[in-house]
């Protein structure tokens, strides 16, 4: 696709009042709010390539089958950073038509990868990673073909003055326990971190399980990776101990401070659902990050918002990117029940200073 053909699709899938059209309207507002006006055609073209088919359903409804990306089945998620770096606008989707067979969803995801890589100038980088992706998620693998989560999620990130990035998430939770562990070790070997990974994995408690892997690339050629592990019932001290093994005391202390500020007195007790991830890059060693599920922590979005505002105030970071994302993606009026807007909150270990990532779901409900 050339620059001349970039832009929003002329006819959104489904009706003009469907989910895709609603999120495109929200995306317009986010592009302006995050200072991405100069990149607007590219952002829309990438969003179309990744999210077009998965959002082909009416407002107030759901895709033919719920996505595993969010607890409530929503197949798309937005995110931004809060802290010491220029905030990026990120989105990730469960590509293809939810409810389609895993083979069709895998084909749709690979097509979305190729289209996005072409749009952002990362075709060569994706081609170099294709053998690894095929090894991690073979198209004919019985475990993947039968997994309703599908083989891939696809995401992108944009920030003013920075090159856009493509992120490919690989399903790491399917197959036998031995197959899952072997997949993670193969991934670590790609970054020449096999020994470091083996040392770390030997310390994993039994209730820390493989969830997924991710590869992030852009036009510059640098590739970063991450391994995601799902946990329930671990203590903050357990996560910090693993972060210390992986990345050292500074990373562990940052994670401990984040958890203490977010959880308060509950930080001493076993925590609800969380995702612990380890990052791989060109620099030596690993990085460790921790994300908590908002649906498990908070009764509703109002409670979640108050908790995050307290976190950002106590850490003395500017909450403006979070407030912008929340304002644009939220429903017109607060709704009762579990969080419909907030998805995850995590500590960002890659930033040189205090930084956090907030993940939010767009409002796809019918107007009140």
Domain boundaries, the chain: 3-360
DSSP annotation of 76 reads E
Predicted confidence at residue 4, as pLDDT, reads 40
Residue 320 vs residues 83, 249, 312, 358: alpha-carbon distances, Å = 10, 30, 10, 12
Q: Which residue has the higher pLDDT, 183 or 73?
A: 183
Q: Give the list of residues 6+ apart from residue 211 with CB closer than 8 angstroms, or none.
A: 172, 173, 228, 229, 230, 275
Determine the Cα angle at 315 with ends 311 and 320, to 5°: 70
Q: How far apart are CA 280 and CA 286, in angstroms?
A: 6
pLDDT tens-place string over residues 273-282: 999 999 999 8
pLDDT band of 7, cuts 50, 70, 90: very low
Q: Residue 249, class by beta-carbon neighbours within 10 Å (0-12 exposed, 13-18 middle, 19+ buried)? A: exposed
Adjacent-strand bridge partners of 80: 89, 358
Is the pLDDT assigned to residue 168 strictly greater than 50? yes
pLDDT tens-place string over residues 253-268: 999 999 999 998 999 9
Question: How many residues in the chain?
Answer: 368
Q: What mean pLDDT is predicted for residues 188-211? A: 95
Q: Residue 9, class by beta-carbon neighbours within 10 Å (0-12 exposed, 13-18 middle, 19+ buried)? A: middle
Max CA distance (Å), the chain: 56
Return the CA Rg of the chain.
19
Mean pLDDT of the chain: 89
- Nearest in space to 359 (alpha carbons), one of 350, 348, 368: 348
Alpha helices in 141-276 (DSSP H): 142-145, 177-190, 194-201, 236-247, 249-263
Cβ atoms 94, 103 nearer than 8 A: no
pLDDT band of 143, cuts 50, 70, 90: low
Predicted confidence at residue 9, as pLDDT, reads 46
- Nearest in space to 250 (alpha carbons), one of 207, 214, 285, 292: 285
* N-to-C CA span, the chain: 39
pLDDT tens-place string over residues 43-58: 999 999 999 888 988 8
Predicted confidence at residue 186, as pLDDT, reads 96
Residue 265: phi and psi, rounded to 5, are -65, -25
pLDDT band of 284, cuts 50, 70, 90: confident
Is the pLDDT assigned to residue 12 strictly greater than 50? no
């Amino acid at each position: 696709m050339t620059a001349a053909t970039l832009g929003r699709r002329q006819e959104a899938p489904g009706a003009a009042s469907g989910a895709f059209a609603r999120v495109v309207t929200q995306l317009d507002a986010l592009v302006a709010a995050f200072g991405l006006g100069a990149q607007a055609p590219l952002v829309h073209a990438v969003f179309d390539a990744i999210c077009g088919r998965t959002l082909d359903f009416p407002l107030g409804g759901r895709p033919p089958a719920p996505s595993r990306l969010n607890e409530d089945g929503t197949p798309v998620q937005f995110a931004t950073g809060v802290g010491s770096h220029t905030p990026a606008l990120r989105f990730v989707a469960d590509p293809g038509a939810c409810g389609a067979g895993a083979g069709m969803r895998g084909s749709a995801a690979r097509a979305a990868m190729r289209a996005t890589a072409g749009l952002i100038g990362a075709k060569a980088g994706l081609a170099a990673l294709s053998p690894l992706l095929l090894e991690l998620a073979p198209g004919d693998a019985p475990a993947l073909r039968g997994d309703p989560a599908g083989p891939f999620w696809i995401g992108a990130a944009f920030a003013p003055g920075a090159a856009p990035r493509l992120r490919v998430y690989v399903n790491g939770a399917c197959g036998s326990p031995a197959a899952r562990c072997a997949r993670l070790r193969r991934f670590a070997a790609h970054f020449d971190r096999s020994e470091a990974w083996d040392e770390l994995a030997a310390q994993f408690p039994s209730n820390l399980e493989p969830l997924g892997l991710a590869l992030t690339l852009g036009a510059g050629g640098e590739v970063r990776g991450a391994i995601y592990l799902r946990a329930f019932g671990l203590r903050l001290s357990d996560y910090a101990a693993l972060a210390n093994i992986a990345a050292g005391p500074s990373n562990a202390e940052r994670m401990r401070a984040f958890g203490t500020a977010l959880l308060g007195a509950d930080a001493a007790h076993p925590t609800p659902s969380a995702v612990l991830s380890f990052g791989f890059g060109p620099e030596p060693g690993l990085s460790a990050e921790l994300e908590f599920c908002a649906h498990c922590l908070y009764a509703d979005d109002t409670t979640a918002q108050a908790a995050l505002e307290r976190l950002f105030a106590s850490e003395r970071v500017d909450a403006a990117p979070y407030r912008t994302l929340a304002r644009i993606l939220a429903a017109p009026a607060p709704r009762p029940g579990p969080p419909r807007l907030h998805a995850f909150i995590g500590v960002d270990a890659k930033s040189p200073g205090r930084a956090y990532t907030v993940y939010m779901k767009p409002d796809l409900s019918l107007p009140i």
